[in-house]
Amino acid sequence: MLISEYLQLRNNISVTTGNVSPGSFKDNAPKVNENGATFAEELERANRLAASKVQFSKHAIERLDNRDIDITEGDMLGRLNKAVELAESKGSNDALVIVDSAAFLVSVKNNKVITAMNTGEMTGSCFTNIDSTVIM
């Protein structure tokens, strides 16, 4: 078969994809996620976290979601960043940072939040393998 014959044959093949109207997916799309947040709100939250100097481990992000800790509320994220900078300036490697009603275990040398917990989970807990505590 010549290339010209192949191209002519290829152009004559019709492809059907089914009966999907352009707006059908949009109508079925959820307006909010399981937490009640719109896509725009989740995008803004993700952008704030990405712009933060402190990064979050996958485990920490799961804990924030599971424990209903909204790090973007108020100035919590900014205060967390300041606390990590303070711990770093004092030579800390691993710190417990308490901001409002949330506690964060932070690897200061890696600039990463390892896990997070709320007030209820802090009560009666023993924090080990930390060399500093910062209360904001």
Tens digits of per-residue pLDDT, 20-67?
565 555 556 667 777 677 877 777 777 666 666 888 899 998 998 899
d(CA 92, CA 106): 10
Q: What is the pTM of this model?
A: 0.64
Q: For 23-51, b where at least 16 C-beta lie within 10 A, e where not — what string?
A: eeeeeeeeeeeeeeeeeeeeeebeeebee
Distance of CA 11 to the CA centre of its chain: 46
Q: Where are the beta strands (DSSP E) in 7-135?
A: 55-56, 94-99, 102-107, 112-118, 132-135
Residue 109, pLDDT score: 93
Residue 35, pLDDT score: 67
Tens digits of per-residue pLDDT, 4-33?
666 666 666 665 666 656 555 555 666 777
